[in-house]
Structure 1
Amino acid sequence: MANWYAIRVRGTGAEVAIYDEIGAYGVSAKGFLAELGALPEGTPVDLRLNSPGGSVFDAVAIHNALKRHAGPVTVWIDGIAASAASYIAMAGDEIVMPENAFLMIHNPSGLVMGTAEDMRAMAEALDKVKGSPVSGYAAKSGRTPEEVSALMAAETWFDAGDAVAQGFADRLIEPVRIAANFDIGRFRNAPPVLVEAVGVEPAPDNETDGAGTEVTDETGQVEDAEDEQAAAADTAQPLAETPPPSGAPPDPAAIRAEAIGHARAVVDLCRLAGQPQMAGRFLEEDASLDEVRTALLAAKAEAEPEIAPHHPQPGRSSAARPWGEIVARTFKLKG
């Protein structure tokens, strides 16, 4: 399972790169915190961000760990710091943004399946979780918590100039080419110029880090190829350049869109079934949606206790439709 972060020790400090969805597919912040804690005390840290956000709980843990770090922390927003990623950015002693980068803040959100009490509990949890980012944004920008809360409720996007002007960042640098392996269109207020920019496929000579994401320096140049022989082997293969027998060349944008759509459908099915932790395994195994539905229904059937006739308990009548049928119908409509 690929990590969404990478930590590399440099001659003068350490570089930390978060270039994907935080906590995606079951990978928690535990490993991140362990690697960060292993750095020598006082090590300067350059944190590079290009992330749509992710788990707010992991983000809070990462933010607090960076705040505790004894050395200076400089945050470089290489493209996008949205949602939970923007809260992590607030841990920096200095926040630097290229002129074409973006920062976004919004309210935390979550999914719940269950009773009215379960849903009220989720709402209360979200209200409590919101307190951490409100405090972080307010402390960095100098705005009041009420002002920050209103900006979060509106899902506010800041370009680099606005972020500096309003106190959410400290310094501007020259523009860089923005690329991302995540779907920025999921946000309701994403600027059209940003959606168009990240929809462009990376140039062929770019390489990726261990998470399959592009890591660039301040000038937009890719750093530290970990396996030059593997990279050379990749560039030597002409398969991607060869048109299929039909004569029509492959459309990278269509392939990418199909892969993203499949991944989002798998995650949605798992969340609807109350089994979000299973999404990572399904994606790793490249399971079809039919296979995902079958496995989720089987997991639900195993988890649902049987009520013995000699020990009657309150519940649905025998005439009620089985839970499995309801879930199956929901999945069929969604898939």
Structure 2
Amino acid sequence: MAIYDEIGAYGVSAKGFLSELGALPEGTPVDLRLNSPGGSVFDAVAIHNALKRHAGPVTVWIDGIAASAASYIAMAGDEIVMPENAFLMIHDPAGLVMGTAEDMRAMAEALDKVKGSLVAGYAAKSGRSPEEVSALMASETWFDAADAMAQGFADRLVEPVRIAARFEISRFRNAPPVLVDAIETEPENDDDTEGASAEATDEADQVADSEDDQDATSDAPQLPAEAPPPSGAPPDPAAIRSEAIGHARAVIDLCRLAGQPQMAGRFLEQDANLEEVRAALLAAKAEAEPEIAPHHPQPGRSSAARPWGEIVARTFKPKG
């Protein structure tokens, strides 16, 4: 099993992970490959608890980074293995809230409770006191593999490996410079780069041949050929992935605001642009019938109400 993404709705969700874990036969040993910048603490807690309930042994391999919520998932391992160039980070949970002072206080209380749960998990694995763990979280502490081993957050060191996935870690205030440099300078796969370069060269040659043919066959004005990219370089996979994630998030947010979160998957499968998504959501809203719950009083006369004429006739019966 592997978690090579953010934790939560935009990456590996608790629902998806638990479904995969539940499909394993009872008692199956689990090797979890972990490389994640974190994400939703609630999804992480659910994944952590599911791994702790699993009947078989659980080995967590931190292949690159286990930061924030991902580090809490790592604590579910019976054994935590870290290459010498891997990192683990723990910090206080954070959240966003907008509202009154009471809303702010409620959020602060919720974050305190979440932190208490996380402290217990880190302390149980490392053997350190809750007070020590709480202080480490408050200062956003990064551990390299040797530090994690010394502090009790890892059980075994192995040979360094190449960091297999790159993440945006500028949101963390204490990210180690060596990790930032490693992520920023990590080269793409050489084979993929060579293949893409060869394809780009072939396309450039084809364009050149086409232009030569046009010059040789006719002096009549021709439509301008589409120019290749100035550099001839292949598109950046990281930029493409970032753009795709941003589009998916925008679609999901629009569907949530419209009260139609279930429609997001269909839009993403159809590769609909944002204008098409907005138009479809407006159409769905226009066609939807208002949902009226019977236990909420509605304006106007109830359908069960009797006409006043009938009430008067029954109350004041004519004499004789």
Q: Which TM-score applies when normalising by structure 2? A: 0.67
Q: Deviations over 1:59-115 (max 9, x none)?
A: 101101111111111110000000111000000111000000000011111122333
What is aligned with 2:233?
A: 250
What is aligned with 2:132?
A: 147
Q: 2:42 aligns with which of 57, 81, 89?
A: 57
Q: Which TM-score applies when normalising by structure 1? A: 0.64
Q: 1:35 aligns with which of 16, 20, 24?
A: 20
Taking the TM superposition and a 5 Å limit, the aligned residue runs for 1:15-30 are 16-25=1-10, 28-30=13-15
What is aligned with 1:227?
A: none
Q: 1:203 aligns with which of 152, 174, 189?
A: 189
* Alpha-carbon separation, structure 2, partners of 1:181 and 1:283: 24
Displacement of 1:185 after TM fit?
Answer: 2.3
When residues 203 and 166 of structure 1 are mapped into structure 2, their CA distance, relative to the original with a 3 A threshold, is: same
Moved more, 96-105 or 172-181: 172-181
Q: Deviations over 1:255-301 (max 9, x none)?
A: 735863785698599889985979x76877777789999999999xx
Structure 2 unaligned residues grouped into runs of 5+: 205-226, 289-298, 300-320
| 1:192 pairs with 2:181 | no
Q: Is the 8 A contact 1:266 1:283 kept in 2?
A: yes
Moved more, 56-65 or 23-32: 23-32
Helix, strand or coil at the partner of 1:157: strand
When residues 92 and 180 of structure 1 are mapped into structure 2, their CA distance, relative to the original with a 3 A threshold, is: same
* Alpha-carbon separation, structure 2, partners of 1:113 and 1:293: 25
Helix, strand or coil at the partner of 2:175: coil
When residues 295 and 157 of structure 1 are mapped into structure 2, their CA distance, relative to the original with a 3 A threshold, is: farther
Q: Which has the larger radius of gyration?
A: 2
When residues 246 and 43 of structure 1 are mapped into structure 2, their CA distance, relative to the original with a 3 A threshold, is: closer
* Alpha-carbon separation, structure 1, partners of 2:10 and 2:280: 17
What is aligned with 1:129?
A: 114
Q: More helix by proportion, 1 or 2?
A: 2
Taking the TM superposition and a 5 Å limit, the aligned residue runs for 1:1-335 are 16-25=1-10, 28-199=13-184, 200-205=186-191, 238-239=198-199, 245-250=228-233, 256-257=238-239, 260=242, 263=245, 275=257
* Alpha-carbon separation, structure 2, partners of 1:135 and 1:272: 37
Displacement of 1:25 after TM fit?
Answer: 2.4
Helix, strand or coil at the partner of 1:23: coil
Higher normalized contact order (CA 8 Å, seq sep 6+, divided by chain length): 1
* Alpha-carbon separation, structure 2, partners of 1:45 and 1:80: 19
Q: State the identity %.
A: 73
Moved more, 73-82 or 107-116: 107-116
Displacement of 1:145 after TM fit?
Answer: 0.8
When residues 80 and 26 of structure 1 are mapped into structure 2, their CA distance, relative to the original with a 3 A threshold, is: closer
Q: What letter is aligned with 1:132?
A: S
Q: What letter is aligned with 1:171?
A: R
When residues 195 and 298 of structure 1 are mapped into structure 2, their CA distance, relative to the original with a 3 A threshold, is: farther
Q: What letter is aligned with 1:203?
A: N
* Alpha-carbon separation, structure 1, partners of 2:39 and 2:106: 21
Helix, strand or coil at the partner of 2:173: coil
Displacement of 1:246 after TM fit?
Answer: 4.7
Displacement of 1:135 after TM fit?
Answer: 0.8
Displacement of 1:205 after TM fit?
Answer: 4.0
